[in-house]
Structure 1
C-alpha cells in the first residue's frame, strides 16, 4: 500500500511561536482540504549553529518542540532530521527532491525567511519555484507581527533570558515549557515542609533569568497543579554553580523521582536572592506559594 501523501511544514520551529503557528494552521487546513497527512520536518541541531560554528541557545529541547506541535495542533507526524555536515552541504535542489521522493510530499509550507541547502542558497522563493517544477503545492507564509514587532525566536530568547516570561508567552502563544525527568536533589525542601522536585535544562537550552516563577505542573498521571519554580543556583543552601529548576508543587504529596514532568512558566515573581538563613528561606517559599496561588486566581477570573 502506498504511504499517504504529506503536506509538510518546514522549519526549525524553536519555541513554536505565533509565527510558526500560522504555518501549522495552514498545514492543517490543506491536509483537510486535500486529504493529506499533516506533517512537520524539523532538525535536531540548529542549522545556524553548525554553519556559524557558534551554538545558539534554544528556547526548547528537541523533545519539547515535538511535544508542543502535538499538544497544540494535534500533529503527530513530526520528522526530526539529523542536521550534520552532509545535510548542510546538500544542494538546495536535492533537498526539495528528497522531500518529494523520500517523504512523499504533495504540498510544502514554509515561512518567508526559510533558507536551506548548501550555504543557505535555497530560499522560500526558490522552494516555491522548484515545487512547481516537481508538481508539488507550496505556500509561503509572511511574517507575523504582534504589538508592532515581528515574532521571532531570537526576540523571544531575549525576553526569556531577561525573565520577561509574560511577554515571551504572548509572542509564543502558549506558556514557555520545560520537560524533564525528576532528579534527586538535596532534599532540603522536605525538611522545610515544602518538598520540591529538581529538573535540569538540557545543554544548549536557554535558561530563564534566575528567579522564582509562578508555574503550572503537569504529571504523568494527567494531573495539573500550581507550582512555584526557582531557577538558579540556590545561593542560600548551595555550594555549586549548577543551575536547576526546583519546583514546589502546591497541595501535592507523592514520590516523583524518575518521573517525567512538564513545567509551564507564567510569571516571574521575584529575582533569586540569598537569605540570611533557613527560616527566612522557608517563610519566603510560603509567601511565594501564596503569590502564585493569587496570580492564577486573578488569571482565571479574567
Structure 2
C-alpha cells in the first residue's frame, strides 16, 4: 500500500473519493468494484480521502465523532485491497474548488485517469447534480467519470452517519452489521480510582487519546478486550461519568472502564482495543459500594450470556 500526500503521477490510476470513515460494508463494496474496473482498464486502484472530516471546516459545530482514526482508516483501506491512498488536507482552498478544478487537480497531480463516482456521491463547490454533468466536466480535463452501482447488500441503509446513530443510541449489534466488524475503541490503559478493585472488579481504564473518536452511548456493555498478547478476552465495559457511589451524577470527563473476566495480567501503559458487542444497561447511580457490587455481579452474568 502506497500513501501519497503530495503530487505523484508515477502511476495511472482509477480512484474513488470519500472520507471512508469506518471503512464499512458499503465502502468495501465500492472498493471491490473499483478493483474490478482497475483490472479491466490496467490501472492502479486508488482512493482519495481526507486527513480530517470536511465538516470540521465547512460546519465545525456539526463535525461528527469519527468511527476510525486516520491510522486505522488507512490500515482498513489497505486490507480492503486499495493499492494507493491519496490523503488530501481539507481546507478552504480545497473546499472552494469547483468540480472541474478538483478533477483537473486529481488528473494532473495524482495521475487519475478514471474516477468512480459512488452512489449519491457529489463533490466540488458548485455541486453538479447529475452524472452527465460530471462526465462532461471530466471529459474536458481528461478524466473518465463512471458510476458505481448502488450497494444493495444490506437490509437497511449503510452509511457512516447511520452507524454513528446506532452507536449513540446503544445498538452496537446494528453498527457491527453495517461495519462488517465490531466497533472498537483503542487506547492506553491508565491508572484510575481503583474503586472496582476494592470490591472484586478491577478495571482497565482506557484513555482513547484521539478526541475526535466517537464515544458510544454511556452505559454497560458486553465486550471483548484485545490485550497486548493479541488475545481477544471476554469483558464488560462501562462508559460513563463514574456515577457509582458519588454524590453527583454525570459530572466530569467521560471514562471507559473494562473489567476483563478471569484476567490477572498487568496492563498499565499498554495499548488495548475494546470491542463493544452488546448494550446491557444505562449507567446508574448507587447509594453504596455494596449495591454497586451486587449490580456488577448481575452485569457479569448478562455479559457472559451475551458473549456465549
> Which has more radius of gyration?
2
User: Structure 1 pair 83/285, CA: closer, same or farther in 2 (3 Å)?
Assistant: same
C-alpha separation in 2, matches of 1:264 and 1:279? 28
Q: Return the match for 1:247 from 234, 248, 258.
A: 258
C-alpha separation in 1, matches of 2:138 and 2:131? 10
Q: Structure 1 residue 93: deviation in Å?
A: 1.6
C-alpha separation in 2, matches of 1:175 and 1:206? 14
Name the TM-score, length of structure 1 as normaliser: 0.83
User: For residues 159-208 of structure 1, what are the alpha-carbon distances to aligned partners after superposition, in whole Å with 9 as ceiling and x for unaligned?
Assistant: 22111221222222322222222333223333333322222454344332
Determine whether 1:186 maps to 2:193: yes
Q: Structure 1 residue 262: deviation in Å?
A: 1.9
Structure 1 unaligned blocks of 5 or more: 298-302
Q: Return the match for 2:106 from 99, 102, 108.
A: 99
Structure 2 unaligned blocks of 5 or more: 1-7
Name the TM-score, length of structure 2 as normaliser: 0.82
When the two structures are aligned, how many residues end up with a matched partner? 296
Determine whether 1:271 maps to 2:282: yes
Determine whether 1:224 maps to 2:235: no
User: For residues 28-73 of structure 1, what are the alpha-carbon distances to aligned partners after superposition, in whole Å with 9 as ceiling and x for unaligned?
Assistant: 33344455443322113322342234332234143343343345x2
Determine whether 1:159 maps to 2:166: yes
User: Structure 1 pair 147/5, CA: closer, same or farther in 2 (3 Å)?
Assistant: closer
Structure-to-structure mapping, 1:1-302, within 5 angstroms? 3-63=10-70, 64-71=72-79, 73-75=80-82, 77-121=84-128, 125-145=132-152, 149-200=156-207, 202-237=210-245, 240-297=251-308
Q: Structure 1 residue 282: deviation in Å?
A: 2.7
- Are the counterparts in 2 of residues 19 and 143 from structure 1 also a CA contact under 8 Å? no
Q: Which moved more, 1:134-143 or 1:208-217?
A: 134-143
C-alpha separation in 1, matches of 2:85 and 2:203? 33
Structural RMSD (CA):
2.9
